[in-house]
Amino acid sequence: MAEVLAKDATLDDMVFANRNKAYGAYSLRKEYPGIITRALIIGGIIFTLATLAPTIISILSPVEEDNTAMV
């Protein structure tokens, strides 16, 4: 238990000190910050593209000129 209470021990290390770390919950808790960061970046990109989609479509689509003459 003394090695778990070291200065660089995280809460996850303390919680899983005498437990089965191979079960899966330990690895999920270790990977969680990276997963959240990736999800926020992907969500931000999708939101930005969805917000800017009408502007991008109007810029990329050709403008049709009205060639009818007023009489």
Residue 44: burial class (beta carbons within 10 Å; 0-12, 13-18, 19+):
exposed
Q: Is the pTM value of this prediction over 0.85?
A: no
Domain-wise residue ranges, the chain: 11-52
Rounded to an integer, the average pLDDT of 4-27 is 80
27 and 41 in contact (C-beta within 8 Å)? Answer: no
Give the model confidence (pLDDT) of 27-65 as tens digits: 888 899 999 999 999 999 999 999 999 999 999 888 777
Q: Side chain identity at 62, as an amino acid letter? A: P
pLDDT value for 2:
53
